[in-house]
Chain A
Amino acid sequence: MTQQLLSWLDERLDLSALQHFVSEKSVPVHRHSVWYYMGGITLFLVGVQVFTGILLLLYYRPSAGEAYESVKFIVSQVEFGWLIRNVHSWSANLLIFMAFVHLFSTLFLRSYRKPRELTWVTGVLLLFVMMGFGFSGYLLPWNELAFFATKVGTGIAGAVPGIGHFLLRFLRGGDDVTGATLTRFYGIHVAVLPATMTAILGLHLLFIQRQGMSVPPSVERREKAGEKIPQIPFVPHYVLHDVMWWYVALAVLAALALFLPWELGKKADAFAAVPPGIRPEWYFLAMFQVLKLLPAHIVGLEGEMLGVLGFSLAALVLLVLPFLDRGAGEGRSSPLVTVAGVAALVYMVVFTIYGYLAA
């Protein structure tokens, strides 16, 4: 049956080139091969987000008067609504976690080196888009914590030199977080970011397929020395491995959704006192904590503004890292990148924990 369908399609579309690509494509096997699957898991979670997001759209109402009630309706009245909402919330967090794992594994294995600079750039852009998804999606249930965290978050955006005020008003749809902010975040979450992500993700996957899997420099050196590095066929071996990891991720998601349901909290009330423990999502917490610790003024400049500038610079450095570490492409070791990567990782872990304990 499958064979008949393929023949039918081949007659019309000439699939021989694709068949050739698939049959010839192979993936190297070495002691770091496990990190290859991190990107695949991230991609799977993106799929979960799209699927559950579309289902949530069927009931969600993006207005200050109805958003909270509609989410409440989803989790309490809609058949399996609780599962879909919990999976969407948990998957969003696992997705960003896996994206970070993918990023750091790529960084430490120097997979960004020539000729894969653009794959790295698109990957970092995807991470930024995913964080944008997280930031905009956090507000959508219109609950108290999200409301005040968005107030703080957009306030930080207001500290960007020069364009801060414009950025703040652009994000909030006014001077304060209101129903206009919710509508705006909704539009960004379900239209602007998905379109952007589709384009960048398409390029990212295209680059990977075009260039194949990168091998770590140590493996590359062995290969250059004449050693034959084992390979497995992409189809079916690698694909089956990928699918197996996806199933594991699915099991983790299902267990989290059932045993640690995502709380809805209280409905946002602009006139209520700011509740204690206001903090952003965990992936912004390390940055948030640093901004909190900075003094009001540093050498005559606003501390928060300097902090935002510092993080913007760090993001830029991350984005163009392959062009800064040209030596990696030429086979030279770059210990500075390893040290910076470890420092960034330690900073993120320590300050995220500190942020939770301090809140």
Chain B
Amino acid sequence: MRPVIVRTVLFQALALAVFAVSAEAQQPAAATGCQTCHASQQSATLATPARDFAVTDVHRERGFSCVDCHGGDPAASDKAAAKAPSTGFRGKPTGALIIAVCSRCHSDAALMRKYAPKQRVDQAAEYATSVHGQQLAKGDTKVATCVSCHGAHGVRPVGDAQSPVYPLNVAATCTKCHADPERMKGYQRAGAPLPTDQREKYEKSVHHKAMVDRNDLSAPTCNDCHGNHGAAPPGVDAIANVCGTCHTVFATKFALSTHSLIFDRGCVECHNNHDIAQPSDAMLGTGKEALCGTCHSEGDNGFKAAAAMRSGIDTLKASIRLSQEQIDGVENAGMDMADQALTLREAGNHLTRARTEMHAFDPKLVDAVVSEGMGLTAKVDAAAAAARNEVSYRRTGLAISLAFIVLVVVALQLKIRSLERSTSGSRL
């Protein structure tokens, strides 16, 4: 066992032995001597932690106090007595001690059940597998520990919108370090310097748009692909699995394709990783924007397959648009086309399915779905034609009725005049 790891394990054991858990009450902890004294210090380094802890801190709200992490004797009125070695005073934990201090409670299932029964208790174990954890074990103290992401004092629950690990804030929290070239200097991945433009790219992505513009908190941010406590870049062989966590059907189709055997970076080959753009039909086919041409050239089977799949999807898309125009036209004339609108929506689902099927890169599968969709648009078109005939029939009927009514009105008018002429004598 390497000396650094031995040191870390011993440190954790020591921390666990020293800090016996004492906080049982779930009432917010009252201000202790530590807070009173620290809050009145001139030095911001000494005063700010006490003040932050006093304002909002999930631990203080559950009844924990300074001594639970730092040790010491809060009842002592003298600074030397309060921080005497006999009190177990440890000062400010750093590096591996931070993991030990936090995991003392957060890895204790029996204890956590009393405060947050649904919360996992394997954060420390996960952290040990992360790049951060592994670097820390090597003695690299620049890497992130619990407090780097969650904060030390003024810790908020993950669901609190002001928490640095709330979904909307995760990218900013991670890139506090990962977008800092100075801090990331010296770190490498696959022999190349670690990039620092991930956030810049992520903010151009469809995932960021979904999260920020549509406030969809289920949209992925850094930790959804990299993991949070066990943060690490997904391996090449895991990319499809990671994307497939959400894009299940696409991943299943892709797994069936020959590309799954060839693509070194899985989904990333076409969609990129941090700057994932809104996919479009233009990405498929043989046009200038199409990605297929990157590897395939005119005449090869892949080129033909790309052209066939794109053509099928375009045909169905155009057919749906035309059918919609027909529905709109007859609806404007007062016909009820609600059932046909539903059928057309179903055709739209087929278009989505065709776009999904293409991830298997087999034109036959796409063609089958496109044909079903075309069958639906044909039904809609037939109904729209029948509705147009009905409108025409109604208008003809109305024209005949109106002509008849006008005739009757004219006849009545003539009759009235004739009566008035014949009785004009009696009116005078």
Contact = CB atoms under 8 A, between A and B. Distances in A.
Contacts of B113: none
B428 A230 contact: yes
> Interface residues of B: mostly helix, strand, loop or mixed?
helix
Nearest to A83: B394
B409 interface: yes
B379 to A, nearest CB: 16
Contact of B398 (A231, A232, A240, A258): A258
Nearest to A237: B419
B210 interface: no
A154 B113 CA distance: 52
A259 B401 CA distance: 14
Contact of B427 (A231, A247, A259): A231
B338 interface: yes
A244 B409 contact: yes
Interface residues of B, number: 21
Contacts of B413: 244
B282 interface: no
Interface residues of A toward B: which range? Answer: 20 to 34
B412 A258 contact: no
A279 B401 CA distance: 35
A53 interface: no
Given A254-B398, A255-B398, A232 B427 contact: yes
Given A254-B401, A255-B398, A258-B395, A244 B427 contact: no
B382 interface: no
B412 to A, nearest CB: 4
Nearest to A236: B419
B289 interface: no
Nearest to A243: B412
B405 interface: yes
A75 interface: yes
Interface string B86-129: 00000000000000000000000000000000000000000000
Contact of A258 (B394, B420, B428): B394
Interface in B385-422: 394-395, 398, 401-402, 405-406, 408-409, 412-413, 415-416, 419-420
Contacts of A255: 398, 402
Interface in B312-342: 334, 336, 338
Given A237-B416, A240-B416, A243-B412, A251 B402 contact: yes
B22 interface: no
A71 B135 CA distance: 71
B336 A240 contact: no
B427 A75 contact: no
B409 A248 contact: yes
A204 to B, nearest CB: 25
A237 B406 contact: no
B272 to A, nearest CB: 38
A244 B419 CA distance: 14
B408 A247 contact: yes
Contacts, number: 60
> Interface residues of A: mostly helix, strand, loop or mixed?
helix
B401 to A, nearest CB: 6
Contacts of A198: none
B47 to A, nearest CB: 49
A251 B405 contact: yes
B43 interface: no
Contacts of A254: 398, 401-402, 405
A237 B402 contact: no
A237 B419 CA distance: 7
Contact of B334 (A232, A236, A250, A258): A258
A82 interface: yes
Contact of A237 (B334, B408, B420, B428): B420
Interface string B197-236: 0000000000000000000000000000000000000000
B301 interface: no
B423 interface: yes
A23 interface: no
A72 interface: yes
Given A237-B420, A240-B419, A251 B427 contact: no
Given A72-B336, A75-B336, A248-B409, A232 B402 contact: no
Contacts of A244: 408-409, 412-413, 416
A247 B408 CA distance: 8
B139 to A, nearest CB: 58
B405 A247 contact: yes
A261 B334 contact: yes
B408 A232 contact: no
Interface string A238-254: 00110110011011001
A233 interface: yes
A255 B415 CA distance: 26
Nearest to A250: B405
A254 B395 CA distance: 10
B296 to A, nearest CB: 48
Nearest to B332: A261
Contacts of B394: 82-83, 258
A259 B408 CA distance: 22
A240 B420 CA distance: 11
Contacts of A231: 427
A76 interface: yes
A248 B419 CA distance: 21
Nearest to B337: A76
A254 B423 CA distance: 35
A201 B417 CA distance: 31
Contacts of A83: 394
Interface string B50-85: 000000000000000000000000000000000000
Contact of A82 (B334, B419, B423): B334
A155 B336 CA distance: 33
Contacts of B338: 72, 76
Contacts of A29: 427
A241 B415 CA distance: 10
B276 to A, nearest CB: 32
B259 to A, nearest CB: 45
Contacts of A261: 334
A23 to B, nearest CB: 13
Given A232-B423, A251-B409, 7 more contacts: A72-B336, A72-B338, A76-B336, A237-B423, A240-B416, A247-B408, A255-B398
8 contacts: A76-B336, A76-B338, A82-B336, A232-B420, A240-B419, A248-B409, A251-B406, A258-B394
6 closest Cβ pairs, A-B complex: A261-B334, A76-B336, A244-B412, A230-B427, A251-B405, A258-B398
Interface of A: 29, 72, 75-76, 82-83, 86, 228, 230-233, 236-237, 240-241, 243-244, 247-248, 250-251, 254-255, 258-259, 261, 264
